[in-house]
Amino acid sequence: MRSKNLVLHTACYNSLIDGFCKVGRISFVHDALDEMHRSGLRLDVLSYAILINGYCKDKILDEAIYLFKKMRLENLGPGTVCYNALIDGLCKVGRISFVHDLLDEMHRCGHPPNIITCSVLLHAIYKTQNLHRAIALFEHIMREEIRPPIRTYNILMDGLCLGGRLYKAREIFQSFDARSPSKRRFP
């Protein structure tokens, strides 16, 4: 970009880095970060979110955790999106103990878990075949009147059916109202 005398801003680099992350070209991400640094630009909250998500998707969790901590040191408070990306990555590699700490931190920092956080956790719990905890989390979601998307129902239904809990799966299925899932309760 320098050879064309173009001046890029952080938003341009964010788009570039996001694209590289999405296609798994982490070495190109590092080149873009080096170029950004040479240009005197700093990472912003979105930059960190993109990087954390990209590293988590590529299962480079130590780098994602490092960036997450660095973000806090630079007083760029991570939002729910950053927490969700890191929680998702940690759940997928089985580092659940760190997830509990992040959930506590989310609450302390005023970023309560949202439906994406709950769906990620539900999927992780289902993968550990702890169906009782999955059902308890789903009931909590419903009590909080969070409107779970159909994907959240699918995760739970799949786990219950594969776990042999067909009666409970049927019960939840019958309580599902496609127009407004949060208004229907299940026993």
The pLDDT tens digits of the residues spanning 7-22 come to 678 888 889 889 998 8
Question: Is residue 163 situated within a structural domain?
Answer: yes
At 27, the pLDDT band (50, 70, 90 cuts) reads: confident
How many domains does the structure of the chain reveal?
2
Question: Is residue 21 situated within a structural domain?
Answer: yes
The pLDDT tens digits of the residues spanning 31-63 come to 888 888 888 888 889 999 999 999 998 989 999
- As given in the structure block, the two tokens for residue 104 are 């506590």
Tell me the residue type at 177: D
Q: Is the pLDDT of residue 137 over 60?
A: yes
Last residue of a domain, one of 35, 63, 83: 83
- Non-local (6+) Cβ contacts of 96 within 8 A are 90, 124, 128
Domain of residue 78 covers: 1-83
Last residue of a domain, one of 42, 60, 83: 83
Q: Biggest alpha carbon distance in the chain?
A: 66
Question: Is residue 98 situated within a structural domain?
Answer: no
**d(Cα 9, Cα 134) in Å, to the nearest integer?**
44
Question: Is residue 91 situated within a structural domain?
Answer: no
The whole model's pTM is what?
Answer: 0.75
Last residue of a domain, one of 66, 83, 100: 83
Tell me the residue type at 186: F
Question: Is residue 99 situated within a structural domain?
Answer: no
Q: Does 181 lie in the same domain as 138?
A: yes
Burial class of residue 119 (count of CB atoms within 10 Å of its CB; 0-12, 13-18, 19+): buried
Question: Is residue 130 situated within a structural domain?
Answer: yes
